[in-house]
Amino acid sequence: MDNHHFIPCLDLFIMALRKRESKLFDRIKKNIKNIHFTRIESSTINGIPDVHGVGLGNSFWIELKSNTSKEPKLDKYQIAWCHEHVRHGGRVFIMYQALSQGAIETYSVKSFSHTLPKLVKVHSTPDPVPVSRWDEIRAILIHY
């Protein structure tokens, strides 16, 4: 089988995922107030999360995920980066747009067991997100 026919499809799939994640970031930035967000587009640091945030002196990272899987999945580079960051006391969240469930879920990366991250679901809300629920997400990002 000639695999070169699959490459354009894979590229389109990756572009579609990035577009959904960009739209998710736009929604976060618009609806979560008084946090300074920086979107990171890095091809030089494998695994670095998509967004850095700081609010009330508390710094955190967010990995954006948007797909139809039951739960978010991290690749090996993301796992390695998160492991080091959490090991040194940093905070990492995953904002997961669960398309098949019509929800936005927030996970905290808490600890690692044999190089696998422990993802703790700390918030879930229907999508579209009610205005008051954005305030709840903000509080989690700053204080959790």
Helix (H) or strand (E) holding 36: strand 36-39
For 94-127, give the secondary structure using H, E and C: EEEEECCCCEEEEEEEEEEECCEEEEEEEEEEEC
pLDDT at position 117 is 84
Select from 69, 50, 55, 66 the least CA-distant residue to 127. Answer: 66
Expressed as residue numbers, the domain containing 44 is 3-143
pLDDT at position 25 is 97
Structural domain count, the chain:
1
pTM: 0.86
pLDDT along the chain (144 residues), means of 10: 54 62 96 97 90 98 94 93 93 95 95 80 96 97 95
| Residue indicated by tokens 């998160």 | 82
pLDDT at position 41 is 84
pLDDT at position 17 is 58
- CATH code for the domain in which residue 27 is found: 3.40.1350.10
